[in-house]
């Protein structure tokens, strides 16, 4: 199974190098995106390994990213999450402690914190986003070496979903999947199929040749994992007919499909970690860490 691919960039054309790392356990894709000119890089949506059967955590996938950064003499300047994930733990906290690089996510994460703080009955949780070094607002820009990076708020899958556009590369995570799989579900707490439609249309207004990188691939019909497409490809061939549909038809399709889907098996495990910036719960008086699972909450 293919678990790594490099989409090469071009310094002269402002195109970053994008290395994708596929995790078969969670079907997640992690990225190291780098400026070919300066070797500055960002890690996007890193995965902290978690075995729900044993309650065991590990850092194999995050360490693989660090090994790639070191092997290619890159300088890590950002650790970025696109949203608080419902199907895997974020390794942002671990990578920050290991490297000192700043962490960032979209400013609407505070709304997600407030929502899940209630679900977990967690009054002591700070819900102001202090768990990250930086909270990006819609339209905000930052630099990755000589490349400009722009933040797009892309709600619908979650309240806090954002898209990072770095050079000619857009990191859309769950908002869009590969064209043969469709688009994100919108039935999580705070989700909205209407908002998702408008977020998708904003992404599809990017230049046709924009490289698009998704955060998961579920390998329909047993094909090899894929995570790169283009705006043109998504608009013309996405199975949810994004180029020819309208909002009402899309919302009806999305909501009908969502009613058939079970909740992700790790959603209650993962959100309590990911709304804390990828931080595991603090140890209790016996030195062990415990997850809190609210019953019948969803």
pLDDT in tens, 6-53: 999 999 999 999 999 999 999 999 999 999 999 999 999 999 999 999
Phi, psi of 233 (to 5 degrees): -65, -40
Q: In this model, does residue 289 exceed pLDDT 90?
A: yes
CB 24 within 8 A of CB 6: no
How far apart are the C-alpha atoms of 153 and 101, rounded to whole Å? Answer: 23
Phi, psi of 122 (to 5 degrees): -125, 70
Backbone angles phi, psi at 5, to 5 degrees: -155, 145
* Half-sphere exposure of residue 203: CA atoms within 13 angstroms, side-chain side: 38
Residues β-bridged to residue 144: 147
Q: Which two tokens stand for residue 106?
A: 């979209």
Tracing tokens 């283009």 back to the chain, one arrives at 230
Confidence of residue 298 (pLDDT cuts 50, 70, 90): confident
Residue 155 CA to residue 161 CA, distance in Å, equals 5
Model-level pTM?
0.97
pLDDT band at 159 (very low <50, low <70, confident <90, very high): very high
Q: What is the mean pLDDT of residues 123-127?
A: 96
Q: Roughly how many angstroms between the first and final C-alpha of the chain, as a whole number? A: 34
The tokens describing 208, both together, are 């046709």
Q: Measuring CA to CA, which residue among 291, 280, 253, 268 is closest to residue 59?
A: 280
Q: pLDDT band for 3, please (50, 70, 90 cuts).
A: very high
Instruction: Please say whether the beta carbons of 216 and 161 come within 8 A.
Output: no
Pairing mode of beta strands 47-51, 89-90: antiparallel
- All domains of the chain, ordered by start, with CATH? 4-274 (3.60.15.10)
* Over residues 70-99, mean pLDDT: 98
Q: Cα–Cα distances in Å, from 71 out to 75, 145, 146?
A: 11, 19, 21
pLDDT digits (tens, 9 = 90+) for 185-209: 999 999 999 999 999 999 999 999 9
How many angstroms separate the CA atoms of 181 and 216, rounded?
A: 10
Give, in order, the Cα–Cα distances in Å from 152 to each of 17, 106, 146, 199, 235.
21, 9, 20, 9, 18
Cα radius of gyration (the chain): 18
Cβ–Cβ < 8 Å for 99, 76? yes
pLDDT, tens digit (0-9, with 9 covering 90-100), for 88-122 = 999 999 999 999 999 999 999 999 999 999 999 99
Q: Are strands 40-44 and 28-34 parallel, antiparallel or unpaired?
A: antiparallel
Total residues found in the chain within this entry: 298
Residue carrying the six token digits 């930086």: 134
């Amino acid at each position: 199974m293919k678990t790594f691919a490099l989409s090469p960039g071009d310094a002269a054309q402002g195109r970053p190098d994008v290395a994708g790392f596929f995790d078969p356990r969670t079907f997640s894709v992690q990225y190291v995106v780098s400026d070919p000119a300066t070797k500055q890089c960002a890690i996007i949506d890193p995965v902290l390994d978690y075995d729900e059967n044993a309650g065991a955590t590990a850092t194999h996938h995050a360490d693989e990213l660090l090994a790639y950064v070191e092997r290619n003499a890159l300088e890590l300047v950002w650790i970025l999450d696109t949203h608080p994930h419902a199907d895997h733990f974020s390794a942002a906290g671990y990578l920050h402690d290991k490297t000192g690089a700043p962490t960032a996510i979209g400013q609407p994460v505070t709304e997600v914190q407030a929502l899940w703080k209630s679900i977990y009955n967690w009054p002591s949780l700070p819900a102001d986003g202090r768990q990250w070094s930086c909270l990006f607002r819609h339209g905000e820009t930052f630099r990755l070496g000589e490349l400009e990076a722009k933040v797009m708020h892309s709600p619908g899958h979650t309240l806090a979903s954002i898209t990072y556009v770095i050079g000619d590369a857009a990191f859309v995570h769950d908002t869009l999947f590969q064209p043969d799989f469709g688009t994100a579900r919108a039935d999580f707490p705070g989700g909205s199929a209407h908002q998702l439609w408008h977020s998708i249309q904003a992404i599809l207004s990017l230049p046709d040749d924009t490289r698009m990188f998704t955060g998961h691939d579920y390998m329909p019909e047993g094909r090899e994992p894929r995570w790169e497409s283009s705006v043109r490809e998504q608009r013309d061939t996405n199975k949810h007919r994004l180029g020819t549909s309208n909002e009402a038809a899309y919302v009806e399709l999305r909501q009908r499909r969502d009613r058939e889907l079970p909740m992700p098996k790790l959603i209650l495990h993962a959100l309590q970690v990911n709304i804390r910036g990828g931080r595991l719960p603090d140890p209790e008086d016996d030195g062990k860490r415990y997850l809190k699972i609210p019953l019948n909450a969803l």
